[in-house]
Chains A and B, each alone.
Chain A
Amino acid sequence: MNRINKRLQEDKELLSIYFTAGYPDLEDTVPVLEELVKSGVDMIEIGLPFSDPLADGPTIQQSSTAALKNGMTTAKLFDQIKDIRKTVDIPLIVMGYFNPMLQYGVEAFCAKCAEIGIDGLIMPDLPLAEYQEHYQSIFEKYDLKMVFLITPQTTDERIRQIDDATNSFIYMVSSASTTGKTSGFGNVQTDYFKRIAALSLKNPQIVGFGIKDEDTFKAATATAKGAIIGSAFIKSLTENGISGIADFIKSIRP
């Protein structure tokens, strides 16, 4: 069974961390990964940097720009993590934008991910219709789980379509925003979390965008299976470096 599905069956609230590969330094990808695992996170999203990250706010834009300046490329990332399964056994997801994958070759990209032991992909700008028409069969051939996003604006009907097309988890974007933007959760989020819980979807949900501390982590996991932290982690990494990772994770889930 795919590592993501196995983890989703465990009886615990999942903490997933997003970080940008090749940041702060080019060769930090594996040290960051290993330190995250040591700190007890349940799943990791490895961000493949892109020059034009449309769905991201300033923090991830900056880490992406810096990583590209450091010399990060798709081939470089695959090379850095080629032996990652010797030391890391939690679910690993590659998150990035579709154009770099397209240039690498969708099938070649998937084959490489499978060879390394990547479990899933998040491509925010590869929409459901395009995925189903052109790429689903390739992803499935390599047992890569494609994770789709939903937002408070997504209609129930579309959420059901996404649920049908998914076989892992649904990425619940907490509010209508780019990454790193919200200041805590309000009524909109509470209502949204309740609405989704009431739909009784077949896939569990993991909440992302705006999770930054113990309170927001608890609020998200009150109804959802887990939460993803991105911008807040990158900020901490920028300020405190790799040696600060354990403390950061403890501050989220003591």
Chain B
Amino acid sequence: MNYNVNEKGYYGDFGGAYIPEMLYPNVEELRQNYIKVMQEPEFQKEFNELLKEYVGRPTPLYFAKRFSEKYGVKIYLKREDLCHTGAHKVNNTIGQILMAKRLGKTRIIAETGAGQHGVATATVCALMGLECIVYMGAVDIKRQAPNVARMKMLGATVVSAESGSKTLKDATNEAIRDWINNPTDTHYIIGSVVGPHPYPDMVARFQSVISAEVKKQLLEKEGRENPDYVVACVGGGSNAAGIYYHYLDNPEVGIIAVEAAGKGIHSGESAATSALGKEGIIHGSKTLLMQTADGQITEPYSISAGLDYPGVGPMHANLFRSGRGEFISVTDADAMKAGLDLSKLEGIIPAIETSHALAIFNDRKFKKDDIIVINLSGRGDKDLNTYIEYFDLA
């Protein structure tokens, strides 16, 4: 089985480019060029240099001794939280800004939920001196004030998305509408492995540096390239795609995807797309998404703003349907507790998104010698207010 994208832009039944004709020239330009550009030695050199000198890669693969002891397994943490700007998102924005420059684009747009991708985009735009407009739901602008301030400091314009439910999916709609209205000079930096082909594949390729590094690092530490499992939280699925990428077609390595159950899968306030979603179209991609019986897209809920996306990338929809991936959902309460645990046991405060991936060990049992690599996708600084309120830490 091949779990990567095929030449038509599909992962099994999922993917494609369901876009209005107004977007066709832009998306087609990208489709025809992205692999060619990424394979240019000059592009590779610039990308790798920036990842090393600016982002701080390779990020450590850290053996979490005390956290491992607690659960009786061997847990390694891939420290994406140590990337510049505090999450894996920047791997993608570095790649896409270089792509945009190669395509002659001068204006950059992006969507953001929690603000991490917005900050990562504003950062690379500052680095390259390009105009940057970030769409963010009006509700999220209020919830994530520090990241709004960071984007502004970096020179970006933050535009409030006032349509629909005023959160991530609406910010994405607004970014797409902006692209329709600015068809020649603008590149849209999507923040996850979502959207029309070739975005899911392009973003996965930029994030694949994560599992490329894990292979080398694990070989040094354990004498083997393959862990028993790779684990990641899934919002749209970019940090997950990054840590799965080089293991996708290797059945020796188990793939575990952790979704946000919110207040419980059947509480009506959840973002567990694989459990609650049905096949449909969102933001130009055929995938699993949360919707009404009538095909209207519904608003998900999670305590973590980075996981409350009503869809999931087509790669992950296919991992779910084919059974290649094991999908687990974790509630707000269990995630928050795991975040506090890791802080106390390892001195690492994780992003709440990441905390979901750390919370699987109470219910999911592993063999004693299993080697498990968790993608520690981001640090918790942006979430301090939520942690403070939740645990009454003030």
B19 CB contact (under 8 Å) in A57, A127, A176, A178: A127
Whether, in the assembled complex, B210 has its beta carbon less than 8 Å from a beta carbon of chain A, the answer is no
CA distance A58 to B164 in the complex (A): 11
Q: How far is the CA of A126 from the CA of B183 in the complex (A)?
A: 19
* Cβ distance A135 to chain B, nearest Cβ, rounded Å: 12
Closest B residue to A171 using CB positions: B21
Determine if B243 is an interface residue (Cβ-Cβ < 8 Å).
Answer: no
Q: Which of B39-58 contact A (CB under 8 A)?
A: none
Contact of A153 among B17, B183, B284, B295 (CB under 8 A): B183
A68 to B16, CA, bound (A): 27
Alpha-carbon gap, A74 to B169, bound state (A): 22
Identify which of residues 174-209 in chain B touch chain A, using a CB-to-CB cut-off of 8 Å: 176-177, 180-184
Complex interface residues of chain A between 13 and 64 (CB less than 8 A to chain B): 50-52, 54-55, 57-58, 61
A85 at the interface (CB under 8 A from B): no
Which among A57, A125, A153 is the interface contact of B281 at CB below 8 angstroms?
A125
B220 within 8 A of A: no
A98 near B181 (CB under 8 angstroms)? no
Interface residue from A58, A158, A181 paired with B24 (Cβ < 8 Å)? A158
B7 within 8 A of A: no
Asked if A198 is at the interface of the complex by the 8 Å CB criterion, the answer is: no
Q: How far apart are the CA atoms of A101 and B180 in the complex, in Å?
A: 23
Asked if A100 and B20 make an inter-chain contact with CB atoms under 8 angstroms apart, the answer reads: no
Contact assessment for B20 and A68 in the assembled complex, using a CB-CB cutoff below 8 Å: no
Residues in chain B near residue A150, CB distance under 8 A: 21
Interface membership of B296, Cβ < 8 A: yes
- Determine the chain B residues whose CB is within 8 A of the CB of A153 once the complex forms: 22, 24-25, 183-184
Shortest CB distance B116–A (Å)? 23
How many positions in chain A have a CB within 8 Å of any CB in the partner chain?
A: 39
In the complex the two chains form, what is the Cα distance from A50 to B281 in whole Å? Answer: 12
CB distance from A247 to the nearest CB of B (A): 30
Please tell me if the beta carbons of A127 and B18 are within 8 angstroms of each other in the complex.
Answer: yes
**Closest beta carbon of chain B to A26's beta carbon, Å:** 14
The number of inter-chain residue pairs (CB within 8 angstroms) is 108
A197 interface contact, C-beta 8 A: no
Chain A neighbourhood of B283, CB < 8 A? 54
User: Which residues 156-178 of A have a CB within 8 angstroms of B?
Assistant: 158, 173, 176-178
Q: A54-B173, A98-B18, A124-B21 are in contact. Are A176 and B294 (CB under 8 A)?
A: no
* Contact yes or no, B21 A149, CB < 8 A: yes
- Which chain B residues (275-328) contact chain A, with CB distance < 8 Å? 278-284, 291, 293-298
Nearest B-chain residue to A154, judged by Cβ: B21
Q: In the complex, which of the residues A68, A130, A151, A181 contacts B18, with contact meaning CB atoms closer than 8 Å?
A: A130
Question: Do A151 and B294 have beta carbons less than 8 Å apart?
Answer: no
Q: Which of B18, B170, B295 has the most CB of A within 10 A?
A: B295
Interface membership of B163, Cβ < 8 A: yes
Q: CB-nearest residue of chain B relative to A100? A: B295
Question: Inside 8 A of B20's CB, which chain A residues have their CB?
Answer: 54-55, 124-125, 149
A74 and B295 form a contact (CB under 8 A): yes
A178, B295: Cβ atoms closer than 8 Å: no
Q: Which of chain B's residues have a CB closer than 8 A to the CB of A154?
A: 21, 24-25
Is there contact, CB below 8 Å, between B22 and A151? yes
Q: How far is the CA of A130 from the CA of B21 in the complex (A)?
A: 12
Q: Name the contact of B180 in the complex, choosing from A74, A102, A178 (C-beta under 8 A).
A: A178
Instruction: Determine if A104 and B295 form an interchain contact, defined as CB atoms under 8 angstroms apart.
Output: yes
Q: State whether B177 touches A99 (Cβ < 8 A).
A: no
Q: What distance in Å separates the Cβ of A106 from its nearest Cβ neighbour in chain B?
A: 12
With A99-B295, A99-B297 as known contacts, state yes or no: A52 contacts B18, CB within 8 Å.
no
Asked whether any CB of chain B lies closer than 8 Å to the CB of A217, the reply is no
Q: How far is the CA of A174 from the CA of B334 in the complex (A)?
A: 53
B284 touches A125 (CB 8 A): yes
Residues of B within 8 A of A130 (CB): 16, 18
The CA-CA distance from A127 to B164 in the complex, in Å, is 24
In the bound complex, do residue A176 and residue B22 qualify as a contact, i.e. CB atoms below 8 Å apart? Answer: yes
A73 within 8 Å of B by Cβ? Answer: yes
Q: Which residues of B contact A (CB under 8 A)?
A: 16-22, 24-25, 163-164, 169-170, 173, 176-177, 180-184, 278-284, 291, 293-298
List, sorted by A's number, 16 A–B pairs whose CB atoms are closer than 8 Å: A52-B164, A52-B170, A52-B282, A61-B164, A97-B281, A98-B18, A99-B282, A100-B296, A103-B278, A103-B291, A103-B294, A103-B295, A125-B281, A155-B25, A173-B22, A178-B177
